[in-house]
């Protein structure tokens, strides 16, 4: 009889891809949100995963939150789009406060292993801009981050792309040089 050897399931590759840390259109209490993305090849259920800082877990996801490969999910402090600045949240979290100064956010699997993390600090070149999210520009390690420059559809006025991939901002059209008029010469 041949022995059956199960194929190990690869660890989920879920990434933090966007954060609105300091909303301007609504209060921090209601308007902060976190976007995650499943960059792996299999669905990932985030039930039992934790959000927190580098030092400690501050919130355990208590609901089944299945993320298909290539899918985004928004985790927000409020799931009321009219109060949170216009995002549709897949999950409402509590206990995690994203500091407008130096801070970090960590996503951990139920076994406590670090899945992804981001830290921000003006001194480290990743400073917070009120009313604009931080967006991850690629899915590689190390991650590259930029400050959002355009509002999303239904935004109350803040900038970002919640629930969607980062896209390069539209180029600003170059000003057309003013025509130079030469004085007519008189014969």
Confidence band of 56 (pLDDT split at 50, 70, 90): confident
Q: According to the model, what pLDDT value does residue 1 have?
A: 58
Tens-digit pLDDT profile for residues 9-35: 666 899 999 999 999 999 999 999 999
Residue 104, φ and ψ in degrees, nearest 5: -150, 165
Q: According to the model, what pLDDT value does residue 158 have?
A: 97
Which stretches of 121-181 are assigned E, i.e. beta strand?
134-136, 145-147
Q: What is the pTM of this model?
A: 0.85
State the DSSP code for 26: S
Q: According to the model, what pLDDT value does residue 140 have?
A: 82
- On whether the CB atoms of residues 134 and 146 are closer than 8 A, the answer is yes
Confidence band of 3 (pLDDT split at 50, 70, 90): confident
The region of weakest confidence among 5-19, 20-34, 45-59, 88-102 is 5-19
Task: Take residue 39 and report the two structure tokens written for it.
Answer: 């960059």
Task: Take residue 123 and report the two structure tokens written for it.
Answer: 């001194």
């Amino acid at each position: 009889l041949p022995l059956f050897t199960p194929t190990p399931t690869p660890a989920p590759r879920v990434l933090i891809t966007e954060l609105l840390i300091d909303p301007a259109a609504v209060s921090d209490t209601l308007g902060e949100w976190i976007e995650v993305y499943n960059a792996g090849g299999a669905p990932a259920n985030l039930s039992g995963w934790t959000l927190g800082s580098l030092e400690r877990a501050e919130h355990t996801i208590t609901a089944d939150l299945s993320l298909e490969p290539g899918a985004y999910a928004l985790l927000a402090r409020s799931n009321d789009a009219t109060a949170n600045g216009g995002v549709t949240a897949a999950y409402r979290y509590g206990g995690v406060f994203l500091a407008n100064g130096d801070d970090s956010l960590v996503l951990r699997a139920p076994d406590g292993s670090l899945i992804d993390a981001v830290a921000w600090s003006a001194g480290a070149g990743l400073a917070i801009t009120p009313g604009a999210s931080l967006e991850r520009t690629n899915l590689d390690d190390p991650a590259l981050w930029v400050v959002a420059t355009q509002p999303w559809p239904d935004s109350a006025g803040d900038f970002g792309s919640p629930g969607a991939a980062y896209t390069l901002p539209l180029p600003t059209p170059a000003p057309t040089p003013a025509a130079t008029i030469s004085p007519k010469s008189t014969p």
